[in-house]
Structure 1
Amino acid sequence: MSVYINPIANGITVSLMIIYLAFIPVLIYQYRKNGTFLVRKNIVLASFAVYMITAFFMTLLPLPSIEAVKNMAPVRANYHPFLFVKTFLNESGFIWNEMGTWFRAFCSPSFYTVAFNVLLTLPFGVYLRKYFNRGLFQTAVLGFLLSFFYEATQYTGVWWIYPHAFRYPDVDDLIVNTLGTVIGFYAAGLLDKLLPDPMKDKSLKTEYASLLRRLISLLIDSIFVNIVYELLRVVVLLAAGKKENTIDIVLYLISVVIIFILIPCISKKKRTFGMTILKLALRDGKGNVPRLSGMIMHNLFIAFWLNVAVNIIGMIDNAWIIIFLQLVVLGFAAALLIISIKNKRVTYFWEKFFDTYMKADL
């Protein structure tokens, strides 16, 4: 069973890493295009990525060393169609009119290996019909091509990385994998109502800026703050020939001012980098560009509680100052939570103080 479990575990791990790396770019793209995060569509895309990578790993892993393959006798491919039927009848002990042989036959390797190859591509047929709107013929052809890619990878020794094949290329796998895709095509019709429907996701191009959208914008600005900070450290600290925490703190504060104050002040639409990328804008209560003082106070407030009060703690040696900053952050979070619960929606209470509100740019 570990022959199957280990490739599945590795495939899921690699898939999740790819999904993790793609999550922020996908969020940005969908917020810019649709104004919202498309939950159902992303579930489908993520599950498809997990399936495709895991299925490929199951046909490829475990990978031996190149030296081990050199010392291994070349693997001979099977070019005889439907050899698996003959193998099953000869090795499983199956006798169609003797029920007692059925269970033992279905538990034999000659059966479950074939069954595995059917199940391997069955989800592919479901995805092709349900989410890619392919007909039966196209589904069968694409299933055959996917299986051909698997077999070619094995036949060429992972595209000539290895001196020769170390897995058993089999024409029967082409037949069985294609059959699995076709079965998946018909299974999609039966499972249609149980599967998520991306068509139910709707664009939400309103002025409302969701919490997640704001946080992604803030994350991007934080990244730019740290980039500017590191550049300043290289220039200033190398020139000074020494390193001091007090200098680090000053440089970090300068970086925050550059990203959250200077850049919006000189930009045409008064935005930070994060706001530009997420298509967010600051507006006053009347929907106009806010006063410069309001924009500065709004951005300073945001920059302080996350970028300064959180990141700067590691640069400070005084325990009392660290405790004070931590209490500031906790107090801010508590105020946000309490006011939001009272209003039954996320309430950014500081925006009213400065008459500066973050809106989605339509």
Structure 2
Amino acid sequence: MGTRIMPAVIAVLAGTALAVVLLVPFVAASYRRRGELGWGRALLAAGALVYALALVAYVLLPLPTTDTVCAAGPQLRPFAFLGDVAKYHVGNPLRNPAIQQVLFNVAPFVPLGAFLCYLGRRSIVVATVAGFGVSLLVECTQLTGDWFLYPCPYRLFDVDDLIANTAGALLGAAAGPLLRFVPGQRLHAAPPGEPRPVTVARRLLGVLCDLLGAWLTGAVLTVVLRTVLLLTGDDIAPGPVWLAPVEAALGGWLPWLVLFVVVPMIGRGGTVGQRAVLLRPALPDGEVPGRARLLARSVVGVGGYVLLQVADAAGGFAALWGVMSLVGIWRSLGHRGIAGRLTGTLLVDRRAAVPVNQPTSR
């Protein structure tokens, strides 16, 4: 794999994995900041994440081998590239290797300026200064051999690169407002605190957040357990006899108990996914259901599917129940789903006021 392609592939794979991990908090933050998610905004945020990882990957990768030759001393003369441009006699300036090198140093920092200006809501001046700071950090990393991890710098510190990178950030910041034309963004949406309709997409996004939350919680607890075993010197392959049931408890039963039994009964109710998209269970008159009904709705809904997966004793019934639940969300009135029909509840926007003189819990 080429040295220019490998960092991009690593950034895309790592960015995708990190986006999955950060999806639930990102959804929750988006709903509270803007009142909704917006797939265009989510796409831009994912692009910014992959870009940041790609920038780090291109700075550090490929790592030098033991026979790597040290780079020459730092190039500290500004605009020295103009002399290099004059050395090449080509008709098309874009085919001049020196100009190509300058453009290659400008282009990577254009997204930085655009993302800071548009997503970060920073001014052009602040985005440009930030671009300069990031570029200086990159050049110092190269000058010090990845901060003295290597005996000498294996890439050249070039002040012209610093100038080109800063210019790229400036151009990106100036062009940042163009990102508002990316589809999937409601630029003139209702105020964040105003209730929104309960749509199929919103319900399914909540379900996705619930499933991711359960899976990630179980994965983290399992990794922590295995890390502790490694640090204490215990052999985890095949491992002690108690390891399998403990991993099953930490990876499946404990996340289910916390996320689908405890959390849904706190406050006005709702699973982690429902809270992320600002939904809550309610009775037909808007009153907050009692805790027994809140628990029943959770266990019958997504919590029931997760329970069947954790129990691993129902064969294909878990998949069947999952499909039926999704169809129920799509086809039922108000997208209340099977759990709503069985428990006599529906989901409403958490920002909607609870009926006057009605308790918030039972």
| Residue equivalent to 2:14 | 14
Contact 1:260 1:272 (C-alpha < 8 Å) held by counterparts: yes
Secondary structure (helix, strand or coil) at the match of 2:154 reads coil
Specify the code of the residue in structure 1 equivalent to 2:301: I
Contact 2:30 2:37 (C-alpha < 8 Å) held by counterparts: yes
| Residue equivalent to 1:80 | 77
Contact 2:76 2:159 (C-alpha < 8 Å) held by counterparts: yes
Farther-moved stretch of structure 1 (209-218 vs 263-272): 263-272
Farther-moved stretch of structure 1 (299-308 vs 149-158): 299-308
Q: CA RMSD in A?
A: 4.4
Specify the code of the residue in structure 1 equivalent to 2:307: V
Alpha carbons of structure 1 residues 283 and 182: separation in structure 2 relative to 1, 3 Å:
closer
Cα distance in 1 for partners of 2:176, 2:256 equals 55
- Normalised TM-score (structure 2): 0.70
Contact 2:74 2:158 (C-alpha < 8 Å) held by counterparts: yes
Cα distance, 1:77 vs structure 2: 1.1
Cα distance, 1:63 vs structure 2: 1.2
Cα distance, 1:357 vs structure 2: 2.8
The answer to whether residue 287 in structure 2 is matched with residue 298 in structure 1 is: no
Cα distance, 1:132 vs structure 2: 4.2
Structure 1 segments unaligned to the other structure (5+ residues)? 95-100, 230-240
Alpha carbons of structure 1 residues 350 and 61: separation in structure 2 relative to 1, 3 Å:
closer
Cα distance in 2 for partners of 1:250, 1:183 equals 53
Alpha carbons of structure 1 residues 286 and 5: separation in structure 2 relative to 1, 3 Å:
same
Cα distance in 2 for partners of 1:158, 1:140 equals 24
Cα distance in 2 for partners of 1:165, 1:199 equals 47
| Residue equivalent to 2:344 | 355
The answer to whether residue 329 in structure 2 is matched with residue 330 in structure 1 is: no
Cα distance in 2 for partners of 1:261, 1:184 equals 45
Cα distance, 1:118 vs structure 2: 1.8
Contact 2:253 2:310 (C-alpha < 8 Å) held by counterparts: no
Cα distance, 1:173 vs structure 2: 1.0
- Once the two structures are superposed, what CA deviation does each residue of 1:59-113 show, in whole Å capped at 9, x if it has no partner? 3321114x445xx3453111122221111212x2x2xxxxxx313x643432321
Specify the code of the residue in structure 2 equivalent to 1:153: T
| Residue equivalent to 1:176 | 164
| Residue equivalent to 1:47 | 47
Aligned length: 327
Structure 2 segments unaligned to the other structure (5+ residues)? 223-239, 352-362
Cα distance in 2 for partners of 1:86, 1:145 equals 26
Cα distance in 1 for partners of 2:219, 2:12 equals 32
| Residue equivalent to 1:151 | 139
**Structure with greater Cα Rg:** 1
Cα distance, 1:342 vs structure 2: 5.2
Farther-moved stretch of structure 1 (210-219 vs 112-121): 210-219
Cα distance, 1:198 vs structure 2: 6.9
Cα distance, 1:166 vs structure 2: 0.8
Alpha carbons of structure 1 residues 146 and 260: separation in structure 2 relative to 1, 3 Å:
closer
Cα distance, 1:295 vs structure 2: 3.9
Cα distance, 1:220 vs structure 2: 4.0
Alpha carbons of structure 1 residues 130 and 212: separation in structure 2 relative to 1, 3 Å:
closer
Alpha carbons of structure 1 residues 332 and 21: separation in structure 2 relative to 1, 3 Å:
closer
Contact 1:157 1:163 (C-alpha < 8 Å) held by counterparts: yes
Contact 2:142 2:157 (C-alpha < 8 Å) held by counterparts: yes
Specify the code of the residue in structure 2 equivalent to 1:79: L
Specify the code of the residue in structure 1 equivalent to 2:12: I
| Residue equivalent to 2:195 | 205
Return the structure number with greater helix share: 1
Contact 1:225 1:259 (C-alpha < 8 Å) held by counterparts: no
Secondary structure (helix, strand or coil) at the match of 2:51 reads helix
Farther-moved stretch of structure 1 (56-65 vs 148-157): 56-65
